[in-house]
Chain A
Amino acid sequence: MKKALMLIIIMGLVLLGCSNSKETAKTEDGKTVVAFWHNLDGDNAETLDSIIKKFNKQSDSVKIKPSFQDNVQQQMRTVGSTNSAPTVFMGGDTAYYSQSSYITPIEEMIEADSEFDISDLNEAVVENHSLDGKLNAMPFNVFVPLLFYNVELFEEAGLDPDNPPETFSEVEKTAQTLTSKDVHGFAIPIDTSFIYNLFAIQDELVFNNDNGRTGADPTETLLNSTAGKDIYTWIDDMNKAGTFGNYGRTWSNTQLAFSSGELGMYLESSAVTGIWLDTLDFDFQTAPMPVPDGKEWTGVNQGGSQLWLSNQATDEEQTAGWEFIKYLVSPEVQSEWAASTGYVPVTPEAAEVSPLKEVYSEHEQFKEAYDALNNTEPTETTAGPSLGKVEVSEQIAQSFEDLIQGKNVEDVLNEAEEKINSILQE
């Protein structure tokens, strides 16, 4: 009986614990505790942790409590509008979070803060992360897609590693030359972002209504346009020629193929540059993503995550969270962050201070990402699609899968177009 009673008491306490009160959490020495959720793991998370430690040490009013969440968006969907939500969190889906009712737009914090000037941030980055001209979150770990290639395989195949392919047909030819019994010439991880980027580089929209960037939601996809057909045919040709490696949806499987020297070139996020420099036992280089023949390289979509501020936190916590966000985008921190990861600094000044300054002059691989970002013309095409409906992304990934299973381009695109339009018009 006593034990049963204990159990009931414990469970009661557990239930009570679930509903915490809405008071600002403080440490014993009076610092405001700010919960921070991020989705980074591996080496990049270690860099982030050391930055947070430094912040906690130098701040006498704020203490950051970081916690890793495998899928922040999934968690925020359930707890976003409750008081268990973290004060600051990292999220990538601008459209989704912007329309959620649980964030404080970062622009309001910027306006209220005389110390912080929005012009300190990279213009292209601000443009890309704004929706309807408003910046709702602070861009933090921005990456761009690049062409990564194995220098040794290039040399073995008699290719010039200083002269990487720039167009679709050059990639196709180079892939042919690189392909041997154990090596695939080229690969793209099955991920919708690369398809979107292949549209962006040639200044083409993927969806009508300006990719959903100017207020109205898209109602139709332009996947089945000439540009789309060119992209899918290009992939299909390489796939049929056996020069395209299919490593499935698990992105790390493509990376594994590259790091073991079984893949000559592939499209990849610049965020792995730091890790590759540390771990690969061969030389690699990066280059801008290829464009279709005769087209102008316009720019790329920026991937990555932004820092969001929760309006469920108390004002005191939000102010403390804002202090932390400002710290993370300061030139010194951005310099350190970009130098050890491969993300692109969101504050241009970061490239002028060490360690990033040295890294950029020593390693071309890093510089490519920075250039790609700065050469990007800010338009709706290079800003990339902004969709409320996540299902669309899955449909595009599936069309990509169908394509490399050998289905013909026309069928794949017609089918995908029909499915996506019916989702968009729902």
Chain B
Amino acid sequence: MKTKSNIGKEIKLFGMGLSYLLPTFLLLGVFLFYPIIKTIQFSLSDVLDGGVVDHFVGLKHYLALFSSASFLNSIKVSFIFVLYTVPITIILSLFLAVIANEKLKGTKFFQMIFSSQLGISGAASSAILLFFFHPTLGTINNMLGFFGIPSIGWLTSPDWALFSVALATVWMGLSLNFILLLGGLQNISVDLYESATVDGAGYWTRLFKITIPLLSPILFFVTIINFINAFQSFGQIHILTEGGPSEATNLIVYSIYRESFIYGNYGFASAQAVALFIITLVVTLIQFKAGEGRVHYQ
């Protein structure tokens, strides 16, 4: 008798739990799971305008990925882009967070300044940067000109365009990373620093032996989201370069956008999307493996 009522209770509890989860499931289902399943279906079919599946084609689109020079180029470009942006963003924002965390007069002001970029949307930032990067009227080239340095085709030269977009991305990502890292820094107990000082540890020792290790969970988190964000960059490219010049900034997401919404090759674009998902997943898993043991949770 006792077990029976227990099972009944369990079921009731389970049902209640489910009903709490239902809104989340519904939202995720409509906006996440359904699109994912659709994408996989599309990637295996030829798709007409309006998302009408014409017929099943098996792995045709996936095989086409390997022979598409444009797609292979966009993978290469995406990895270079990640290398350009992720380390610099993290190091710079860590630096800003550390100096803004010093107990000095006016740090509140600088904390506000450093995080203010968050208030500007990506599209607006890109539109402003378009003026900075203009080949003849641009702020940057005019400043270079003042020092007698010849103009650089920031967005018009294939050698520079990716770097310029990376620069824009670093700037746009600084504030969020700064806030996350500053939050992490302020969570570290002051006692640790005090006792370390009593033991005679200098500034650098404290930084590398206390601050960085204790910040490692946040750093780990920040690294992962930066990787994913860099792989999925789109807005700044759409506004600044449209994937050009000569495909120099055609990152994977822009390539997906172009294939699907400009060219109407939905099947091929979906296969690229699935490929991007797998790449992101693998890179994240590698990071988790590499992060194990190096991340200290308090």
Binding site for B on A (CB under 8 A): 1, 4, 7-8, 11, 15, 71, 74, 76-82, 100, 182, 184, 190, 245-250, 253, 256-257, 260, 262, 389-391, 394, 397-398, 401-402, 405
Contacts and interface: CB of A to CB of B under 8 A. Distances in A.
Given A245-B136, A246-B156, A247-B156, A77 B261 contact: yes
Nearest to B23: A7
Given A8-B23, A248-B156, A80 B136 contact: no
Interface string B17-58: 001101100110010000000000000000001111000000
Contact of B49 (A81, A245, A246): A81
B130 interface: yes
A253 B135 contact: yes
Interface string B48-77: 011110000000000000000000000000
Given A74-B261, A82-B50, A256-B134, A4 B20 contact: yes
B157 A184 contact: no
B261 A249 contact: no
B146 to A, nearest CB: 14
B246 interface: yes
Nearest to B155: A248
B262 interface: yes
Interface residues of B, number: 33
A263 to B, nearest CB: 8
B297 interface: no
Nearest to A78: B50
A1 B240 CA distance: 47
Most chain A beta-carbon contacts within 10 A, residue among B153, B158, B245, B258: B245
A122 B203 CA distance: 80
A15 B27 CA distance: 11
Given A8-B23, A405-B157, A405-B245, A246 B135 contact: yes
Given A78-B51, A81-B50, A82-B50, 5 more contacts: A4-B22, A8-B23, A246-B153, A248-B241, A248-B245
Contacts of A389: 263
B50 A77 contact: yes
Given A8-B22, A11-B26, A250-B130, A398 B244 contact: yes
B137 interface: yes
Contacts of A80: 49-50
Contacts, number: 94
Contacts of A77: 49-50, 261, 264
A391 B263 contact: yes
B137 A257 contact: yes
Given A100-B49, A390-B262, A390-B264, A247 B135 contact: yes
Which 9 residue pairs of A and B lie closest in terms of their CB atoms, listed nearest first?
Answer: A248-B156, A401-B245, A74-B261, A81-B50, A77-B49, A7-B23, A401-B246, A249-B244, A262-B136
A297 B252 CA distance: 43
Contacts of B135: 245-248, 253, 257
A260 B153 CA distance: 18
Interface string B252-281: 000000100111100000000000000000
Interface in B164-193: none
Contact of B247 (A11, A15, A81, A398): A398
Contacts of B261: 71, 74, 77
16 contacts: A4-B19, A4-B20, A8-B22, A11-B27, A74-B261, A81-B50, A100-B49, A190-B244, A246-B153, A247-B135, A248-B153, A249-B242, A249-B244, A253-B134, A401-B158, A405-B158
A319 to B, nearest CB: 25
A248 B158 CA distance: 10
A30 B271 CA distance: 48
B240 to A, nearest CB: 8
A249 B245 contact: yes
Nearest to A423: B263
A11 B246 CA distance: 44
Most chain B beta-carbon contacts within 10 A, residue among A249, A390, A402: A249
A417 to B, nearest CB: 16
Contacts of B27: 11
Contacts of A394: 258, 262-263
A177 to B, nearest CB: 19
A130 to B, nearest CB: 23
